[in-house]
Structure 1
Amino acid sequence: MNILLVSNMYPSQAFPSYGVFVQNTEAILKDEGFTVDKAVLRKKTGKLKKALGYAGHYANIVRKGLSGKHDAIYVHYAAHNAFPLLLLKKLKPSVRIVTNVHGSDVVPEVASQEKFQPYVKRLLKKSTLIITPSHYYERLVQEKYQAATPIRIFPSGGVNSEVFYPNREQNPQYMKHYQLDPAYRYFGYVGRMDVGKGWDHLLQAFALFLAAHPEEKDRTRLIMVGSGKDDDAFFAMKSQLGLDDSVIHFPLMKHKDLAAIYNLVELFIFPTTRKGESLGLVGLEAMACGTPILASRIGGILDYVEENENGWLTEPGNPEDLARGMAEYTALSDQQKQQVGQAAYQTAQQYDQKKIQSKLSSIFHELRLTK
């Protein structure tokens, strides 16, 4: 079966993490015996380069779609790819589209994304199948669009257990490599410094936590990994809250470095406020390293975090509740922390890439049977 993979996000040498799970999906399909062709766009910087990049990308989608060489078109990021696919469907009604919706596809994060919604709705109705990353997102799609198109669940390529796994015996080397002081324990955050990611609530919560527990100033540090449009606001808030010595920042990292950070931190904090958090793969990656998670009670996170079993849940956008969660974690015994960490690891194994890849394969085999 020949599949045309369509995405406006795909990794490049300059931006290795940009759309990496789309690349992971490609690897899964090839591993399952499918032939995969691509019409993808790698990250461009500057308005002119972006405009030219999208023009070429859209033309490539239509050209390859009309070639008749593909049994199905598998698209990621419906909002930004809907227009050329709808045009293709009009020119060639027989083409079969499988649409994977996630994130801001369904829940726009900023006003400028709202303009794509009519196209997303039309694309979902024209699709042969819809794929969502979680049961939460499946319900969201059904409620918002009421499309008759069948929906299947596939958790965004899953977790690569060859990269993300417990490896704490290497922590002394990691500490040295990242110039961290082993006298401290570390909490961690991985995510863009962008709207809805909750980095601001986390900074506020950590300041509250340290103020309520002054002894923690000499024993706990917060590692925050990520960059984004709000970088300037992040650094300003960090200074305003007096956290320059307590918060350690790293820019975007490759997966092997993220795995090291997940192993270094005692507690992974996932403070998102996004209703469009369709799965939250970083949470599962941390859990795959045996690290407990303190996360917002929202979105696809609810598919895998069980309160007091493999992690803890807090009210989204509430720094006080987040600070309370940190305090409750520190009050646990070492044995209790280890038990939750082990449960987190066991949960993440259910999302192991090798274990779940057959789910994606079965979706496309089902498509072949309906031809």
Structure 2
Amino acid sequence: MKIFLISNMYPSDEYPNYGIFVKNTEEILKSEGWTVEKAVLYKSHSKLSKLLSYILYYLRIIIKGFFGKYDAIYVHYASHNSYPLIILKSLKKSSEIFTNVHGSDVVPEVQSQEKHQKYVKKLLHLSTIIITPSNYYKNLVAEKYQVDIEKIRVFPSGGVNKNIFHQKENRQNVFADLNLSNNYKYVGFVGRLDVGKGWDIVLPAVKKIKDLGHFQGRKLIVVGKGSQQKDYETLVEDLHLQDDIIYFPLLPQQKLSEVYNCLEVFCFPTTRKGESLGLVGLEAMACGVPVIGSKIGGLLDYIQDGENGILFEVGNDDDLKEKMIEFFSMDETKTEQMKKAALKTAERYEVEHIKPLLIKIFKGYQRSYNHVN
């Protein structure tokens, strides 16, 4: 089978986690012996560079898609890729498009993203198969765009790589590698410092916990960068949390795994209705870390309240504060049970476990394709 992979997000040496799940899906397809050619974009630094990159990228999609002989065109992100694919489909009606939707594809986070919606809808109706990261997102897509739910498949965004995300045998070495003191317990937040990611929920919650005297002997680890970097830094200063936070910018996956292995609990305070899965929560669980997460989006697919983590009300830092204090107050037996349950949950999303789901999606189509042709 020959597949044309398209994505406007793809990892680079400088941004190793940018669209890493796209690369993971590519590796799964290649492992089946299939040929994968691709047109992808890497993260740009300037607006001009980004504009030029998109122009060349769109031309590459149309030209390769028109002249190439592919069994399937597999695209990640409907919004920014809808324009060239709609054109391609009009020029070459035999194009079989598999569209993998994510996040703001379906639930725009800012006003400027709304303009893509009519084209997203058109692309989804032109697509042979639609792939969503969670059952929550599957139902959302079917309802919002009035597409046949029978052509929607669920595949959890490349899954969790257990070769990277797993419990480390020697945590002392991990603390040393990250220059962390093992005299503290650590709460973690990993995510872009952008709208909806919840960094502005976790900081006030930590401040309130600290003021109540429940954060002694603990520190918050924050990993991420983003458009709200200045706002984040200002809020940290306003809340006087400078001495309570250890900050890392973007980290490669190996280092992220080390961070997870240092945590007693992972905080996932997203407010995004477009949180189609929330892979960072599963990566934390794969390292044996329970997750305190928002009652929203794809998190509801895998966080079992009171078993492998705790759910709290979306955007409510008071409730997050209460749930964090609840977790800190648990005895060792309960927290160990949560850790084991988190590990068990992550196993269901491990790459080798979910790999057959993606292969089945393409093989199922391939059988019908061969039959027709």
- State if a TM-score over 0.5 links the two structures: yes
- 2:70 aligned with 1:73: no
Displacement of 1:311 after TM fit? 0.5
Matched residue count? 368
Displacement of 1:15 after TM fit? 1.5
Displacement of 1:292 after TM fit? 0.6
Displacement of 1:96 after TM fit? 0.4
Displacement of 1:68 after TM fit? 3.5
Tell me the equivalent position of 1:216.
215
The alignment yields a C-alpha RMSD, in angstroms, of 0.9
Q: Does the 8 A contact of 1:32 with 1:358 survive in 2? A: no
CA distance in 1, matches of 2:148, 2:266: 39
Displacement of 1:44 after TM fit? 1.3
Structure 1 segments, 4+ long, off by >6 Å, are: none
CA distance in 2, matches of 1:267, 1:224: 13
1:65-122 CA-partner distances (Å, limit 9, x unpaired): 0114211100001100000000000000110000000100000000000010011000
CA distance in 2, matches of 1:338, 1:273: 28
Match of 1:36, SS? strand
Match of 2:37, SS? strand
CA distance in 1, matches of 2:123, 2:196: 26
Match of 2:276, SS? coil
1:336-355 CA-partner distances (Å, limit 9, x unpaired): 10110000000100001011
Matches within 5 A, 1:17-56: 17-56=17-56
CA distance in 1, matches of 2:70, 2:170: 46
Match of 1:370, SS? helix
Tell me the equivalent position of 1:170.
170
Q: Does the 8 A contact of 2:194 with 2:226 survive in 1? A: yes
TM-score normalized by structure 2? 0.97
CA distance in 2, matches of 1:273, 1:346: 26
Tell me the equivalent position of 2:230.
232
Tell me the equivalent position of 2:148.
148
Matches within 5 A, 1:328-347: 328-347=326-345
Counterpart residue identity of residue 107, structure 1: V
Displacement of 1:215 after TM fit? 5.2
Displacement of 1:370 after TM fit? 2.4
Q: Is there any run of 5+ residues in structure 1 with no aligned partner, and where?
A: none
Counterpart residue identity of residue 262, structure 1: Y
Q: Does the 8 A contact of 2:16 with 2:253 survive in 1? A: no
CA distance in 2, matches of 1:283, 1:142: 25
Displacement of 1:148 after TM fit? 2.7
Q: Does the 8 A contact of 2:195 with 2:228 survive in 1? A: yes
The correspondence for 2:314, drawn from 313, 316, 320, is 316
Q: Percent identity?
A: 51
- 2:159 aligned with 1:158: yes
Tell me the equivalent position of 1:112.
112
Which one is further off, 180-189 or 282-291? 180-189
Counterpart residue identity of residue 163, structure 1: I
Tell me the equivalent position of 2:5.
5
TM-score normalized by structure 1? 0.98
CA distance in 2, matches of 1:357, 1:117: 30
1:175-219 CA-partner distances (Å, limit 9, x unpaired): 22222221111010110000000000100000011112x2533x0
Match of 1:60, SS? helix
Counterpart residue identity of residue 153, structure 2: R
Q: Does the 8 A contact of 1:130 with 1:151 survive in 2? A: yes
